[in-house]
Amino acid sequence: MSDFESLREECHAANVALPATGLVDLTFGNVSVCDRELGVFAIKPSGVAYDRLVPADMVIVDFDGRVVDGSLRPSSDTPTHRRLFLGFPGIRSVVHTHSRHAVAFAQAAAEIPVFGTTHADYFRGSVPVTRALTAGEVEADYEWETGNVIVERFSDMDPLDSPAVLVRNHGPFAWGPSGEKAVETALALEIVANMALKTLAINPAAHRLGRHLVEKHFLRKHGDAAYYGQSSPG
């Protein structure tokens, strides 16, 4: 197996999982998976329909932004993914979608409040939203600056505590330790966005979940003291 074959296979599997989740319309979305030892990541090629993708189509890009293997043009969002890999060293995979309920919050420039325990199972508080990009940032290097405003938003937050963000007027990015887990987080994000919109429609003054319950639900699934699920086989 080549150095990049397993990376391409993981990236391909995560990308083709997106349509089945309902997270993407048309070709609006992409997944990347990195190999930090090799200093590269695989990413979906730009504008290729999901049902046409094969593992060999995944483009290999290094952390300096150079295509090192692949015959297709990488996703136009590649600089954003690269910025997140550089800024968040604890992640291996990034997912970007235009999932509809999460996008609704992004377009409203509103964070997704933590109303219930389903949300707290994945996110240790409200899902944050970035500031707007300036005209200069858009003109200079739009996709790279998109990554910069995400990293900036997490200057006082742990990206592993809230493994997703809403880019204002754009859409969500989510991440995780593998392609599969990052897609799961992107799906969880869309589910809690849907729930939050319905909660606000029923009661615009709905109370946020208490901190004690947020901590309990998040920490029972994440961290050294987690006890949800089964132990890995020894």
41: helix, strand or coil: strand
Catalytic residue, candidates 64, 158, 161, 228: 228
Q: 94: part of which helix (H) or strand (E)?
A: strand 93-97
* 183 within 8 A of 14, measured Cβ to Cβ: yes
Q: Which of 229, 194, 223, 227 is nearest to 116 (CA)?
A: 194
* 81 within 8 A of 94, measured Cβ to Cβ: yes
3-state helix/strand/coil string of 182-197:
HHHHHHHHHHHHHHHH
Q: Give 178's DSSP letter.
A: S
Measured distance between the N- and C-terminal CA atoms of the chain, rounded to whole angstroms: 26
Catalytic residue, candidates 50, 69, 121, 142: 121
Q: How many CB atoms lie within 10 A of CB 65?
A: 12
d(CA 17, CA 95): 11
Report the amino acid identity of residue 177.
P
51 is catalytic: no
d(CA 171, CA 165): 8
228 is catalytic: yes
Catalytic sites, residue numbers: 121, 228
